[in-house]
Amino acid sequence: MSLPTNQIILAPLQGYTDAVFRDVYFRHFTGVDQAMAPFISTLSQKKINLSTLKDVIPENNVNCPNLIPQILGNIAEDFISLANQLIELGYYTINLNMGCPHSKVAKKKRGSGMLPYPEMVDQLLDNVLKGLSCKISIKIRLGRYNKDEIFELLPIFEKYPLEEIILHPRTGVQMYEGEADIDSFIKVADNTSHRLVYNGDITSVRVFNNIVKQLEKVRRYGQPSHSYTPINRFMIGRGILSNPFLPSQIQAKVGQSSEDMRNIGNLKSSKSQSELLERIKLFHDELFDTYSRKFYGPLHVTGRMKGFWTYIGDSFKDYRKEIKKILKSNNREHYKAVAESFFAKLPLFKPTD
């Protein structure tokens, strides 16, 4: 029996995984099969201008595998109008954001703010699917206020030919607190015929394997247990930003030989460490150069680069002081100097394991 192939999707992280990040990331690292772009908000009755769409314009995404654009909105005609612009750009699957936890968004009944309103969701999907030629997938949480809200929505989802449902098993009000609720994920999987994608807190190969093991309990809705299909699509966000090698580590684990895996085989050996650091530095430098070329203001560039350190900084556990210095820099030259001196110290890269 051949091992199931797990597919990894780069999660959308607004302010982090933009087109520049994706382009440079995919030039340096392997293991990811697909990426989702951070949300674009609908605008009432207006054609979205090209600068808002630049993140998903195909020429800005040549290295990015199978990009899925995402829309945040709750009014069918605005959604359809934006989706049609995306279809014109060549996209044939579009994701609807039903998970954004931020209260500013949620109080307008957008993102996770839609979850307590099944009738509204039903109307939206009905109108959107009637009005569009592309496929629609959904990215969702368990609920806005409690983790049972999704069970009111699942019968509605059954009525529509969704491409897939990506579930982050937390509530909206939880934001990122507490643990991702795998038992609730399994309960949802048992109650939907749609393809389900797991998303949440995959930070290492060990955690990934543990989640895969727990998901073996899933028996798919409407199918006899002997024909169940395992969950084999996983979306990862912060784990990839903290450890950009994570997807190739996971993929190597299921039997694909990969050059990355040789390099990261033994994180503690000094040869592996220097190779890892060299590759992270190349990635960092190219990211900095590309942002410097594309962004005008120095604060924009340092702002984006500080985003880079927000997560990967956690993998340089013994260098908090140095990273603080990088995060304090307020112009490009100063930033460059402190980042250079950080790498010159040959810091140990120790991602979560």
Ligand X SMILES: Cc1cc2nc3c(=O)[nH]c(=O)nc-3n(C[C@H](O)[C@H](O)[C@H](O)COP(=O)(O)O)c2cc1C
Judged by CB under 6 A, the residue of 8, 9, 10, 13 near ligand X is 13
Query: Nearest 5 degrees, angle CA 154-CA 155-CA 157?
Result: 60
The residues near 190 (Cβ < 8 Å, ≥ 6 apart) are: 218, 219, 220, 221
Judged by CB under 6 A, the residue of 139, 144, 284, 304 near ligand X is 139
Q: Does 201 bind ligand X (CB under 6 A)?
A: yes
Q: Which of residues 15-44 bind ligand X (CB under 6 A)?
A: 15-16, 38-39
Size of the site for ligand X (CB under 6 A): 21
The residues near 293 (Cβ < 8 Å, ≥ 6 apart) are: none
d(CA 5, CA 150): 28
- By beta-carbon proximity to ligand X, the closer residue of 99 and 347 is 99
String marking each residue 85-124 x if it binds ligand X according to CB under 6 A: ------------x-x-------------------------
Residue 125 CB, nearest distance to ligand X (Å)?
Answer: 17
Give whole-number Cα distances, 86 to 89, 129, 217, 264, 285, in Å. Answer: 5, 15, 38, 38, 31
d(CA 181, CA 122): 25
What residues form DSSP beta bridges with 124? none
Residue 262 CB, nearest distance to ligand X (Å)?
Answer: 26
String marking each residue 232-271 x if it binds ligand X according to CB under 6 A: ----xxxx--------------------------------
Q: Which of residues 69-88 bind ligand X (CB under 6 A)?
A: 70
d(CA 270, CA 41): 46
Q: Does 14 bind ligand X (CB under 6 A)?
A: yes
Q: Which residue is nearest to ligand X (CB)?
A: 237
End-to-end CA distance of the chain: 29
Binding footprint of ligand X on the chain (CB under 6 A): 11-16, 38-39, 70, 97, 99, 139, 168, 199-202, 236-239
